[in-house]
Amino acid sequence: MKKQAFSVVAFAAAGALMLAAASLPEPAHTEWPMWGGTPDRNMYSSMKGIPSTWEVKSKQNIKWVAELGSQSYGNPVVASGMVFVGTNNEAMYDKEIKGDRGILLAFRETDGQFLWQAVHDKLPQGRANDWPFQGICSSPLVEDGIVYYVSNRGELMAVDAQGFRDGKNNGPYTEEKLTREVDVDIIWRYDMMEELGVLQHNMANSSPVASGDLIFVSTSNGQDESHVNVPSPRAPSIIAVNKKDGTLAWEHNPVGENILHGQWSSPAVAQVGDLVQVVIGQGDGWVRGYDALKGEMLWEFDMNPKDSVWPKTRNEVISTPVIYENVVYVANGQDPEHGEGVGHLYAIDATKRGDITESGRIWHYADIRRSISTGALYDGILFYPDFSGFLHALDIKTGKAFWKHDMFAAIWGSPIVIDGRVYLGDEDGDIAVMAADRTFKLLAENNMASSVYSTPVPANATLFLNNRNQLFAIGDAKSADRSPADPRALLTRWASR
């Protein structure tokens, strides 16, 4: 009898666990249409069939490789049968366009065929606002056949995923000078420098996220090259723009002159209690939550100890927050050029209001170094890396570490959990594959032949991953026929929308 009762309980517990795992939000269908896959930015997918081993040299489990520019800080997204990634112009897909530019490339998902590109001239003022050769650093959002991203010139762009390949110049914007099949078809653009007086420090990089009719981005407004002055203290930190026509819906500037350096965090969106919130790290090192619809600030949380001093112990927030069941998980850190240092990781109760630095702190994990990464949550475990090369696996309820793994190289990208395994890349170009478990287990290590600053993302049983200068589609090459239809086949569907 006792034994039977136990097995019933065990069965119920297993059922609850399965439900908990199944209830993690994940990308609809089989695409990866934005940074984090879903607006809550949790780096998680239950997708099956992604390999844990591959080899660049012998092409084992490599479906295709596409050349990117010489530096690629954008992260790929996969939607509408295409892969979109930001880079610079060093691959020169269009031989007529020479010199340094910000480039967004669109490839066919099935075979890596180049389809079209968006070209953005560099700003004349150079490194102050648009660092040479860094290209486009924003990871796009693709929704309803429209690609949203932030250019190296501080513009929020909405462009047609089909470009001019659909034979139509989609508007309201129809002033494109180049309208060949390989050119970008702009739908609208919102110039944050022109409209809001934003002066981004070194680079505008925000990865857009949407809720309803609104798109949210960080402006990246920051200090000037003196690293003392904020030349445009009245420019907002975060904006919401109307999807349909690219007009400003709301803006907020809680930081003024208190920007420590730049503003390079990207926003996350999720339902928290009875409101949809947008949550982001801002230039004074605080994380803030907003009513997504109205733009009203709901709460703010100081990520730094009050006695910390910039830049030695006080940090900015570059990581993207992850929202899960009313809780925000985020770490702080600094520009990689500043090297290593102390960091802080928090679980924040986003249902609280006002200054919630004390009231909203669920736990604080201090055994982390500076981090610019986004976390991955799965089965009660938070995987969070730091720039010093450690991956921490924590209990999401207590913030206590299950384990810590040393990658022996700087980590710029983020961990992602796919089908019970954690994938994480490092500056040495290694992708470690580990069990997403309370006990550490290294399953494989795969070298990409060049530094990995990005995060591998899954779509249609394939892993898409870029190192500094190449984009890889990793998967069982024999299963290529399971991939989605050629985008040309989709043209008729779009043409009739």
Residue among 301 and 494 whose Cβ is closer to Ca ion: 494
Residue span binding Ca ion (CB under 5 A) among the ranges 127-135, 178-186, 263-271, 407-415: 178-186
Residue 169 lies near Ca ion (rule: CB under 5 A): yes
Residue among 346 and 494 whose Cβ is closer to Ca ion: 494
Residue among 186 and 327 whose Cβ is closer to Ca ion: 186
What is the Cβ-side half-sphere exposure of residue 451, based on CA atoms within 13 angstroms? 12
| Closest separation in Å from C-beta 179 to Ca ion | 8
Residue among 169 and 351 whose Cβ is closer to Ca ion: 169
Q: How far is Cα 434 from Cα 420, in angstroms, rounded to an integer?
A: 9
Residue among 149 and 250 whose Cβ is closer to Ca ion: 149
Q: Which two tokens stand for residue 494?
A: 């779009």
Residue span binding Ca ion (CB under 5 A) among the ranges 161-169, 286-294, 320-328, 434-442: 161-169
Q: How far is Cα 406 from Cα 414, in angstroms, rounded to an integer?
A: 15
Residue 145 lies near Ca ion (rule: CB under 5 A): no
| Closest separation in Å from C-beta 497 to Ca ion | 11
Residue span binding Ca ion (CB under 5 A) among the ranges 77-85, 174-182, 317-325, 412-420: 174-182
Residue among 160 and 302 whose Cβ is closer to Ca ion: 160
Could you give the 3-state DSSP secondary structure of residue 19? helix
Q: How far is Cα 334 from Cα 315, in angstroms, rounded to an integer?
A: 6
Among 45, 117, 129, 170, binds Ca ion (CB under 5 A): 170
| Closest separation in Å from C-beta 139 to Ca ion | 22
| Closest separation in Å from C-beta 32 to Ca ion | 23
The footprint of Ca ion on this chain (CB under 5 A) covers a number of residues equal to 9
Give residues with Cβ within 8 angstroms of 18, minimum separation 6. Answer: none
Q: How far is Cα 18 from Cα 37, in angstroms, rounded to an integer?
A: 21
Residue 160 lies near Ca ion (rule: CB under 5 A): yes
Residue among 109 and 185 whose Cβ is closer to Ca ion: 185
Residue span binding Ca ion (CB under 5 A) among the ranges 38-46, 100-108, 156-164, 475-483: 156-164
| Closest separation in Å from C-beta 186 to Ca ion | 5
Residue span binding Ca ion (CB under 5 A) among the ranges 17-25, 55-63, 171-179, 487-495: 171-179
Residue among 160 and 300 whose Cβ is closer to Ca ion: 160
Residues in the chain: 497
Residue span binding Ca ion (CB under 5 A) among the ranges 103-111, 168-176, 231-239, 266-274: 168-176
Closest to 53 (Cα-Cα) out of 65, 61, 45: 61
Residue among 246 and 389 whose Cβ is closer to Ca ion: 246
Among 90, 94, 100, 185, binds Ca ion (CB under 5 A): 185
Peptide bond into 172 cis (omega under 30): yes
Q: Which two tokens stand for residue 340?
A: 């290593």
Residue span binding Ca ion (CB under 5 A) among the ranges 41-49, 110-118, 182-190, 232-240: 182-190
Find the Cα–Cα–Cα–Cα dihedral 172, 173, 179, 183, rounded to 10°: -110
Residue span binding Ca ion (CB under 5 A) among the ranges 153-161, 191-199, 374-382, 448-456: 153-161
Q: Which two tokens stand for residue 201?
A: 């420090």
| Closest separation in Å from C-beta 161 to Ca ion | 9
Residues of span 186-245 touching Ca ion by CB under 5 A: 186
Cβ neighbours, 10 Å, residue 183: 19
| Closest separation in Å from C-beta 247 to Ca ion | 17
In the DSSP assignment, the letter for residue 477 is G
8 A C-beta contact, residue 424 and residue 435 = no
| Closest separation in Å from C-beta 176 to Ca ion | 6
| Closest separation in Å from C-beta 170 to Ca ion | 4
| Closest separation in Å from C-beta 256 to Ca ion | 37
Q: How far is Cα 457 from Cα 387, in angstroms, rounded to an integer?
A: 20
Residue among 157 and 434 whose Cβ is closer to Ca ion: 157
Residue among 168 and 338 whose Cβ is closer to Ca ion: 168
Peptide bond into 124 cis (omega under 30): no
Among 109, 143, 166, 183, binds Ca ion (CB under 5 A): 166
Beta bridge partner(s), residue 382? 377, 394
Residue type, 407: M
| Closest separation in Å from C-beta 143 to Ca ion | 16
In the DSSP assignment, the letter for residue 235 is S
8 A C-beta contact, residue 183 and residue 159 = no
Residue among 7 and 174 whose Cβ is closer to Ca ion: 174
8 A C-beta contact, residue 80 and residue 161 = yes
CA torsion sign for 107, 162, 205, 283 is negative
Which stretches does DSSP call E strand in 80-230? 82-88, 101-108, 114-121, 141-143, 146-150, 155-160, 186-191, 209-211, 214-218
Residue span binding Ca ion (CB under 5 A) among the ranges 60-68, 135-143, 172-180, 414-422: 172-180
Helices (H) and strands (E) in the chain, counts: 3, 34
Could you give the 3-state DSSP secondary structure of residue 409? coil
Give residues with Cβ within 8 angstroms of 95, minimum separation 6. Answer: none
| Closest separation in Å from C-beta 168 to Ca ion | 4
Residues near Ca ion (CB under 5 A) are 160, 166, 168-170, 173-174, 185-186
